[in-house]
Chain A
Amino acid sequence: DSGVTQTPKHLITATGQRVTLRCSPRSGDLSVYWYQQSLDQGLQFLIQYYNGEERAKGNILERFSAQQFPDLHSELNLSSLELGDSALYFCASSLSELRAYNEQFFGPGTRLTVL
């Protein structure tokens, strides 16, 4: 158990809909990262937040957005869903930014299925 929690575990929805994925980082971790894992694209970094502020951006679509709240939990919002958005979405967290490198601890993931 990494200490990172994600809800829900599974989500089934229809095209065009909007969903929110939630992540609680490990206690004390200030950074939260979101990743998408699909069969064709592999594991792709989406976005990083540090202490409530966006810190790094990856291959995140404009239909997707994220935020980190004062209690450090984070939400990933996916809108106008398409079939191709079906994937495993992982959240990870790490310690403060003061280290030159940070081991990331991954949550169990949310499996999104768009029908």
Chain B
Amino acid sequence: SQQGEEDPQALSIQEGENATMNCSYKTSINNLQWYRQNSGRGLVHLILIRSNEREKHSGRLRVTLDTSKKSSSLLITASRAADTASYFCATDKRVIIQGAQKLVFGQGTRLTINP
């Protein structure tokens, strides 16, 4: 079963507007990552936020993390047509074996930017 749940499942906005996607998860985590996937292609890592961080920026991306609510949000500012893709949050659960990493992905938000 999925650890993360993205909200909304689909989002359609006009070019230039801001897009906000939310992710909720269930168990304690090491970090939370956001990935983008263009239709039928591989995932591209966007940004990672550690469990002791509350906010992180990368270009037009802003990620927040609230560990007390077990939730994160991804904000894309000044959206462009090229931002059209599916966006996934992935949580990295604490594991006992050093080096083991089990990313658990949410179901994703399908973002459409209309020109």
Report chain B residues within 8 Å CB of A90.
Answer: 42-43
Task: Tally the A-B contacts, defined by beta carbons under 8 Å.
Answer: 73
Question: Interface on chain A toward B: helix, strand, loop, or mixed SS?
Answer: strand
With an 8 A cutoff between CB atoms, is A18 at the interface? no
Q: Do B99 and A31 touch (CB < 8 A)?
A: yes
Given known pairs A101-B48, A103-B48, the reply for A43 and B42 (CB within 8 Å) is no
How large, as a class, is the contact surface on chain A? 20 to 34
The 27 listed contacts between A and B (C-beta, < 8 Å) are A31-B99, A31-B101, A33-B101, A33-B103, A35-B105, A42-B2, A42-B105, A42-B108, A43-B43, A43-B88, A45-B102, A45-B104, A48-B102, A55-B97, A55-B99, A56-B101, A90-B43, A97-B99, A98-B99, A100-B30, A102-B101, A103-B33, A105-B45, A106-B42, A106-B44, A108-B41, A109-B40
Contact with A along B94-115 (1 / 0, CB 8 A): 0101111111111110000000
What 10 A-B pairs have minimum CB-CB distances, sorted nearest first? A97-B99, A56-B100, A106-B42, A43-B105, A106-B43, A55-B100, A108-B42, A101-B31, A103-B45, A42-B107
What is the bound-complex CA distance between A108 and B35, given in angstroms? 14
Q: Do A58 and B102 touch (CB < 8 A)?
A: yes
Contact with A along B40-71 (1 / 0, CB 8 A): 11111100101000000000000000000000
Q: Do B42 and A2 touch (CB < 8 A)?
A: yes
Q: How far is the CB of A41 from chain B (nearest CB, A)?
A: 9
